[in-house]
């Protein structure tokens, strides 16, 4: 018979309850915890609790949180296979279920009381269930209730301004929910409209998909040279839509096909969700040795296999789509919208630089001069011109002026020319149209204005 302290577990079937008890006993053994510690469940599915707990501890002096790195547990979780005998007359004498302890084990101190927190994920061939588990001393249960109340209120306030990105095989992170808007990104209007309309249609028309018996999913692939807005565009989508966000870290060698399948299941079960696939050309390059334990076929199966990916928007990015297998690009059910973010034109360079400098300098002639000399540069490179200008002005204890900007421009042009000379075009991350640092004198006031409002 299990310890009577485990009677607090509710709504679990017998087999799952036994597995939860088994995993909890393992944790107790690791920490040499006596019977005074009992198991309880906070009543919430585990989604990034460790990240939020650390944030809470930074703001509250009476709360301390530490990650416990012990043998058998890891920061990214670990897996145990459990075999149980079926009934004697069963056609199958054994079945296998897998239990995961995700995100390591956390030790929390709250007003002198100690709690331990971890997650159990039960998975077999049909279902997957996650439970957020706590070990609490019996005489501290009242304090534990106060802690949970304070923690939930903190998460409620945090949720109004931040969105959590749950990363499989990596560190969770947050994106400020109020910081990014479609008007903040400088892109050609047709490009921005195409992305926005594709996502808007999926997000706002679930009934339309259901009535026509189409899978309620959408795949968007954004590609282009580094530094031209792919990551920023991702943050805008995260900020503007009420979606649960899952990201998979292909660079973690410990992760394989089963982990990718589990990540997609998590996204599906928490729909509507956004599933992020960053730099897939680096992971699945035709020209380089594969660095991930996940196969291309497994990814394809997750995207458009027999088990439909319902309620999920997949957003993938790539720097060099020509490196990808054609199977990524030529089948709309995988990526329905494919958008290129190319290096900015003169119009867009002027718009972007004007937006960067708008709080520091109102001088269109100087900004137009800089824009003409940034031919071929990414927006990330132009941002560095702005930063250098401000740093130079601060170092001279002067208000930012055109001389500071000219000096910053010359420094960045030297850096740019060195980069494209010493490195290959691909490793430098610049456009193939390198051009010259000198371009024809253009009167920016006579050029057609970008339709984007600043």
DSSP 20-83: HHHHHHHHHHHHT--TTEEEEE-SS--SSHHHHHHHHHHH-TTEEEEEE--TT--TT-EEEEEE
Chain centroid offset of residue 315 CA: 10
The token pair that represents 192 in the structure block: 């921005």
Domains of the chain with CATH codes: 4-160 (no CATH), 182-340 (3.40.50.300), 346-446 (1.10.8.60)
Q: What angle do CA 144, 266, 104 make, to 5 degrees?
A: 45
Q: What is the dihedral of CA 216, 277, 423, 288, to 10 degrees?
A: -100
B/e letters for 219-243, b = 16+ CB within 10 Å, e = fewer, are bbbbbbbbbbbbebbbbbbbbbbeb
- Bridge partners (DSSP) of residue 85 are 94
Sign of CA dihedral 156, 162, 163, 165: negative
Q: How far apart are CA 264 and CA 309, in angstroms?
A: 8
Provide the pLDDT for residue 49.
Answer: 64
DSSP 344: P
Q: Is the distance from CB of 80 to CB of 20 less than 8 angstroms?
A: no
* Strands of 92-143, DSSP E: 94-110, 113-123, 128-137
Q: What's the number of CA atoms in the CB half-sphere (13 Å) around residue 194?
A: 14
Measured CA to CA, the distance from residue 320 to residue 294 in angstroms comes to 20
- Residue 322 tokens read as 């020509």
Rounded CA-CA distance 318/226 in Å is 9
Output the pLDDT for position 345: 93
CB 437 within 8 A of CB 417: yes
Number of C-beta neighbours around residue 399 at 10 A: 9
What angle (nearest 5°) sits at the alpha carbon of residue 296, between those of residues 163 and 343? 60
pTM: 0.63
Which pLDDT score, from 0 to 100, does residue 353 have? 94
- Euclidean distance between CA atoms 302 and 261, whole angstroms: 7
Question: Are 353 and 379 contacting, i.e. CB atoms less than 8 angstroms apart?
Answer: no
DSSP category for residue 444: G
Give the closest residue to 32 by CA, choosing from 123, 135, 118, 131. Answer: 135
Give the number of other Cβ atoms within 10 Å of residue 292's Cβ.
21
Express the helix, strand and coil content of the chain in percent, nearest 5 each: 45, 20, 35
**Closest CA relative to residue 319, chosen from 221, 391, 211:** 221
- The CA distance from 209 to 311, in Å, is 10
Cβ-proximal residues to 329 (8 Å cutoff; 6+ apart), any chain = 221, 321, 335, 338
Average pLDDT of each block of 10 consecutive residues along the chain (454 residues)? 38 55 66 64 49 83 79 42 39 37 71 79 52 75 86 75 82 76 90 93 94 92 90 89 90 87 90 92 78 86 84 92 80 85 93 91 91 90 92 90 91 76 43 37 36 27
Peptide bond just before 272 cis, omega within 30 deg: yes
What DSSP state is assigned to residue 99?
Answer: E
């Amino acid at each position: 018979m299990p310890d009577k302290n485990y009677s607090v577990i509710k709504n679990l079937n017998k087999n799952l309850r036994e597995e939860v008890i088994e995993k909890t006993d393992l944790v107790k053994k690791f920490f040499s915890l006596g019977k005074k510690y009992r198991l309880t469940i906070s009543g919430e599915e585990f989604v990034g609790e460790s990240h939020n707990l650390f944030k809470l501890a930074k703001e509250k002096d009476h709360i301390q949180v530490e990650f416990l790195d012990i043998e058998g547990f890891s920061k990214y979780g670990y897996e145990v296979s459990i075999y149980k005998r079926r009934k004697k007359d069963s056609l199958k004498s054994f079945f296998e279920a897998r239990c995961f302890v995700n995100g390591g084990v956390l030790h929390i101190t709250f007003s002198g009381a100690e709690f331990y927190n971890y997650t159990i994920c039960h998975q077999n061939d049909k279902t997957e269930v996650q439970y957020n588990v706590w070990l609490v001393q019996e005489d501290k249960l009242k304090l534990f209730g106060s802690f949970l109340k304070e923690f939930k209120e903190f998460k409620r306030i945090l949720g109004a301004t931040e969105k959590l990105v749950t990363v499989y095989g990596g560190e969770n992170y947050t994106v400020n929910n109020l910081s990014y808007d479609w008007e903040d990104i400088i892109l050609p209007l047709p490009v921005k409209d195409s992305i926005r309309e594709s996502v808007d249609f999926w997000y706002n028309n679930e009934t339309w998909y259901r009535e026509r018996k189409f899978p309620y999913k959408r795949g968007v692939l954004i590609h282009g040279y580094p530094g031209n807005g792919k990551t920023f565009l991702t943050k805008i989508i995260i900020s503007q839509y009420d979606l649960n966000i899952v990201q998979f870290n292909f660079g973690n060698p410990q992760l394989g096909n089963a982990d990718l399948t589990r990540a997609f299941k998590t996204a599906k079960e928490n729909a509507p969700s956004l599933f992020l696939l960053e730099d897939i050309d680096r992971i699945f390059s035709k020209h380089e040795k594969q660095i991930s334990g996940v196969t291309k076929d497994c990814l394809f199966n997750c995207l458009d296999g027999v088990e439909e990916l319902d309620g999920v928007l997949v957003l993938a990015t790539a720097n060099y789509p020509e490196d990808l297998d054609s199977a990524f690009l030529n089948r709309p059910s995988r990526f329905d919208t494919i958008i290129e973010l190319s290096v900015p034109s003169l119009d867009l360079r002027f718009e972007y630089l004007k937006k960067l400098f708008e709080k520091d300098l109102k001088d269109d002639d100087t900004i137009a001069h800089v824009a003409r000399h940034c031919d071929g540069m990414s927006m990330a490179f132009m941002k560095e011109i702005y930063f250098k200008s401000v740093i130079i002005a601060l170092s001279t204890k002067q208000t930012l002026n055109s001389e500071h900007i000219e000096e910053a421009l010359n420094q960045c042009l030297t850096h740019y020319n060195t980069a494209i000379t010493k490195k290959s075009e691909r490793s430098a991350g610049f456009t193939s149209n390198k051009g010259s640092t000198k371009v024809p004198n253009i009167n920016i006031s006579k050029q057609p204005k970008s339709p984007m409002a600043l």
